[in-house]
Structure 1
Amino acid sequence: MARILPKRKAKGVDFCDVDDNYYIIRSDLGCFMYSANFHRGYDLNIYSLHPSCQGGDHYLAFDNNTFYIIKGNTYRRVSDMSKEFDSVVYNLHPNCQGSRGVYHKTSNINKDSNAVEYQLHPNCKDALYYWGTKSYSYFLKYLQYADTFSIHPDVLDFLPGGLGQTHGPTFGKWDLIKMISNDSEIPVTWEKKITWKVSFTKSKLSSIEHNWKVNMSATFDLDALIAEIVKLQFSLSAEHGGISINTENENWEEATEVAETVILTLQPHTKMYMWQYKLSLGKEDVLFCREIVFDENPNPPSIIPLLPANK
């Protein structure tokens, strides 16, 4: 099964929470998700993430009006991650910097006041993500222990690599659109209008956002968000349910059919095959690429007509 992209590979992606208010930050998407319960998928709301709050190394929450974004050797305190209210930047104490494989507890990350350091229990090591409240510590991991909870599929869809868990891995393939043949003894010029589908079939992924409420700016609507999530899924490695390709230059508008007049001259007793490249997520074809290939070979082309994903 495809695996969720871990925090060490996902810059600006993190969890934080306050009591019964849980947050997932996706800097790469420019937004964050709020939920009242990750296990049951309650009250899933998505908000814009202010540019100054994006790209953090870690995200912490003290209460619903106090958030901390750690970047390098400094941290930013804001009262609202979507609007950067009351923003103040502080230096991060050296003892609170870096990663040492321990659990460091302090009442002030600027002064490292009342600091205590603990070794992690073996069952708590090597988690994908860590976060906590004043009363509890949480981590996301595949192994099952006592007092564990699953993540609701509607929440998994928002995580990098989550679509690979809920929908299945992605893959690309060439689809035969048309086969043209000349069985005569003379060359034949063939002219005909051919119709094929292009762009993004969002309707096949309507289940992704059925439980989401989007509270974002008008310039970043739900359709655009879903397209970005799928686009990023394609860019991931096979380990995380992707195919390691860059689809930035494809048309991510809702899929439509296009028609074009094709003129070909076929030699006697020859055939011509028209192929289109498409990308699938699990069992669904979701992106019909612009690339069309005409070839006399009855086998699908061996090339991948898209650039590799940026590493």
Structure 2
Amino acid sequence: MAGVVPRADSPGTDVFASPGGFFVVRSDLGCFLCVPHCHAPEAPKLRSLHPACRGGAHYVGDGACVCILRGDTFHRTTDLSAAPSPDPFPLHPSCRGGDHYASWGGCFSIIFLARGVVLSVADLTTGAEAEETPLEPASRCGLYYYAPDAFHLAFLHVDEERGLRSQVFSSSGHQEDLPVHADVTSFFPGGLALVHGGTFGTWECIKLIQNETDGPLPGSYEITRQVGHAEEKLANWTFSAAGSPAPSDLSVALLQAQFSLPPAYGGLGLQTGQEEWEAVAEEEEELRVILQPHQKLFWWQYRLGLGARPVLFCRCLKVTRSPAPPANIPLPRSDARAVGV
């Protein structure tokens, strides 16, 4: 099973919980998702991310505010669709360099995976009331961490059989494993492959012409091909009239990001932004060729798909004299080591 890209390998992507619900931030897409609970069936709402709120190393819900951490400072905002506070707040030295951050029960929790500890502080700027507690080995494998309520921490992980899960744990050692809803999973980098199946790229034969005579055969042939994006409903997301991305734009951005990921995350490691991403349309082309005696020519078109469905019909055509498809991949490779901005 493909996996979800960890926060550390997806700059600008993070999760947090607040009284307003569960949030997933995607800086690379320029938007964020909000749902009452990550395992709830309610339709998630999508909104645009303010440019000044993009690219945070961590996003931490703090009551009615969100802290956006970058380096050794952070900004606050009450709405990720609006500009944050102009002046940064300094992070206390003891609060710097955490692998994950969360806010719960009136304090901040900073998770240091290498040390296997959770540092709790009352204030990120002063480090006041600092207290360290050990992090159980079973709780060190999370992709993302957040606080679902005032008494627990939770992390997201991928189960090979059951998909993306939320593991809720507490200092008492009690743990609860809950499924992350498919509409939420689909928004994570790599999540489309978990919900719909991995991506694929293949050459499809769209035309075969042959000469079954013993002499040369000149002729004119019509080649019809589909070009563009076959629109698919990726999830049951709610788009508000204002302050949200266009559904078609988000669908394209998500698919482009998925195709660019390495195979471990259900991608192909390919750049597709240069392809035609408008709605699928048919194009016709007239070919004039002279077929030699008993010759066959195969016309191939490259297609990309998600699960079992083709979603992008590329412009590239190849001609072969054998029924074996071309061996090359006609799209440029992406930098599949990271997916953020």
TM over 0.5: yes
Q: Does the 8 Å CA contact 1:79/1:86 hold for their aligned counterparts?
A: no
* Amino acid corresponding to residue 79 of structure 2 in structure 1: D
Normalised by the size of structure 1, how large is the TM-score?
A: 0.93
2:137 corresponding residue in structure 1: 122
- Counterpart of 2:154 (choices 135, 138, 163) is 138
Measure the CA separation in 2 of the matches of 1:219 and 1:23. Answer: 14
Across the aligned residues of Structure 1 and Structure 2, the Cα RMSD in angstroms comes to 1.8
2:186 corresponding residue in structure 1: 157
* Amino acid corresponding to residue 41 of structure 1 in structure 2: P
Unaligned runs of 5+ in 1: none
Q: Does the 8 Å CA contact 1:37/1:43 hold for their aligned counterparts?
A: no
Q: Does the 8 Å CA contact 1:79/1:87 hold for their aligned counterparts?
A: no
Q: How far apart are residue 134 of structure 1 and its match?
A: 3.5
| Range with bigger deviation, 148-157 or 15-24 | 15-24
Measure the CA separation in 2 of the matches of 1:214 and 1:256. Answer: 26
1:67 corresponding residue in structure 2: 66
The runs of 4+ residues in structure 1 deviating greater than 6 Å are none
Q: Is 2:38 the partner of 1:38? A: yes
Q: Is 2:274 the partner of 1:249? A: yes
* Amino acid corresponding to residue 195 of structure 1 in structure 2: T
* Cα distance change on mapping 1:249 and 1:219 into 2, 3 Å: farther
Normalised by the size of structure 2, how large is the TM-score?
A: 0.85
Where 2:138 maps in the other structure, the secondary structure is helix
2:105 corresponding residue in structure 1: none
Q: How far apart are residue 20 of structure 1 and its match?
A: 5.8
Q: Is 2:177 the partner of 1:148? A: yes
- Counterpart of 1:178 (choices 207, 224, 228) is 207
1:75-94 aligned at under 5 Å gives the runs 75-84=74-83, 86-94=85-93
1:199-210 aligned at under 5 Å gives the runs 199-202=228-231, 205-206=232-233, 208-209=234-235
Q: How far apart are residue 219 of structure 1 and its match?
A: 9.1
* Cα distance change on mapping 1:115 and 1:293 into 2, 3 Å: same
Q: Percent identity?
A: 33
Q: How far apart are residue 287 of structure 1 and its match?
A: 0.9
* Amino acid corresponding to residue 153 of structure 1 in structure 2: A
1:231-270 aligned at under 5 Å gives the runs 231-270=256-295
Q: How far apart are residue 122 of structure 1 and its match?
A: 1.7
- CA deviations over 1:179-227 (Å, ceiling 9, x no partner): 011122332222122211111101xx22x23x21123768941001011
Unaligned runs of 5+ in 2: 99-111, 160-164, 168-174, 337-341
2:109 corresponding residue in structure 1: none
Measure the CA separation in 2 of the matches of 1:119 and 1:223. Answer: 45
Q: How far apart are residue 165 of structure 1 and its match?
A: 0.7
- CA deviations over 1:115-148 (Å, ceiling 9, x no partner): 1122211221120100114433111123687422
- CA deviations over 1:51-82 (Å, ceiling 9, x no partner): 11111111001123x11000111111111110
| Range with bigger deviation, 118-127 or 7-16 | 118-127
